[in-house]
Structure 1
Amino acid sequence: MSVIYGYARVSSVDQDLTIQEEALRSAGATLILKEKRSGTTIEGREELSRLLDFVRKGDTIIITRIDRLARSIGDLAAIVKRLEERGVSLKATEQPIDTSTPAGRAFLQMLGVFAEFETAIRKERQLEGIAKAKKEGVYKGRKASVDGGKINELVTAGKGATEIAKTLGIGRATVYRYLGEKG
């Protein structure tokens, strides 16, 4: 007996899965696995891994869009290959994807290329924005995680980098980096 499984994913814990869940139920999913993890890699996505291990020949996995499944062509291809080897089809509610048909497989591959391109463009824009903000003096980076005052006190007291690192619970490289930036 074949089963229709749903897979819903958002990137961050403050995002909501409700819309995806409703769409997947409407499409016939009897069980929906969901997680709040980045889609840029399949590493650490336990629910996806559980689903891929669990499905059997004749089953179907439904997603709302392919970017919920994977953001890189390599990850997408690996997932689809694994599903094909097990005789499992993949469908999307918002895109004409159905890996049980040649046209659906072709469309999936095209969308995968665009999803990866979109991720690369987004990252490029983000890096450009950070560079511009740094140039304008607006971007300062993240807040320092090391108390420079304490490092200075310990240096003045004649302590070496290893002892400073142990005392403050930080890495020696962090001490050297701080001292190098200061000097």
Structure 2
Amino acid sequence: MLIGYARTSTLEQEAGFEAQLRELTAHGCEKLFREQVSSVAPRKQLEAALEFAREGDALVVTKLDRLARSVVHLGQIIGTLEAKGVTLRILNLGVDTATPTGKLMLNVLGGVAQFEREMMLERQREGIAKAKAEGAYKGRKPTVRARSEEIRALAAEGLSMGAIATKLGIGKGSVHRVLNPAMPVRT
């Protein structure tokens, strides 16, 4: 059985998400696992796909970066798949671990992908450092101070910290800092 896995990092990537699903379906995937979550967050659907796979199945992804966050993570996934007798196919690379060449290519490409990601992060850090030195980097806008009155009003209505956090789309700790004056409010 061909098992498809699709992932995007954010809800704003809807077109890319739909494209992945179309491609996996066109490739013949009979079962699809899908999620919109950051690569560093827990990925319940990936875990479910790995659990679902049985000997002789193939896990199919459209791109390597939709599956693994690093070479180590890729190795863990491949180890899990191999232990179950499941192969991996990466469509845009034409890689299929059912063949020795496919296994070799996956290892080489995984290393190149991690190198590329590390280089991108290094350039990003350099750009932020340069912007800070020039006084152009301000960081993200503070959310808690701007919503302090709203938080206090909801608390006065009897909402719990968790309910306030959920309603406003902010962290529970942020709500706690506003409602507990002994704790400093972060900007």
With normalisation by structure 1, the TM-score equals: 0.77
2:106 counterpart SS class: helix
Residue aligning to 2:92: 94
Q: What is the identity percentage for the equivalent residue pairs of Structure 1 and Structure 2? A: 40
Matches of 2:23 and 2:9, distance apart in 1? 18
Paired residues of 1:55 and 1:88 also in contact (CA < 8 A): yes
Q: 1: CA distance between counterparts of 2:84 and 2:10?
A: 30
C-alpha displacement at 1:168, in angstroms?
Answer: 3.6
Question: Partners in 2 of 1:79 and 1:119 — Cα distance?
Answer: 19
Between structure 1 and structure 2, the one with the greater Rg is 1
Q: 2:102 aligns to what SS in structure 1?
A: helix
Instruction: State the 4+ residue runs in structure 1 displaced beyond 2 angstroms.
Output: 142-147, 166-175
Residue in 2 that maps onto 1:36: 36
Unaligned runs of 5+ in 1: 151-165, 179-183
Higher helix share: 2
- Aligned pair in 2 of structure 1 residues 101, 143: CA closer, same or farther (>3 Å)? same
**Structure 2: where are the runs of 5+ without partners?**
149-175
Q: Which residue of 2 aligns with 1:143?
A: 141
Normalised to the residue count of structure 2, the TM-score between the two structures is 0.75
Closer, same or farther: CA 106–173 of 1 in aligned 2, 3 Å: farther
Q: Note the 1:3-152 alignment, pairs <5 A.
A: 3-16=1-14, 17-39=17-39, 41=40, 43-144=41-142, 147=145
Q: How far apart, CA to CA, are the structure 1 residues paired with 2:54 and 2:91?
A: 21
Partners of 1:128 and 1:18 in 2: CA distance = 34
RMSD (Å) for aligned C-alpha atoms: 2.5
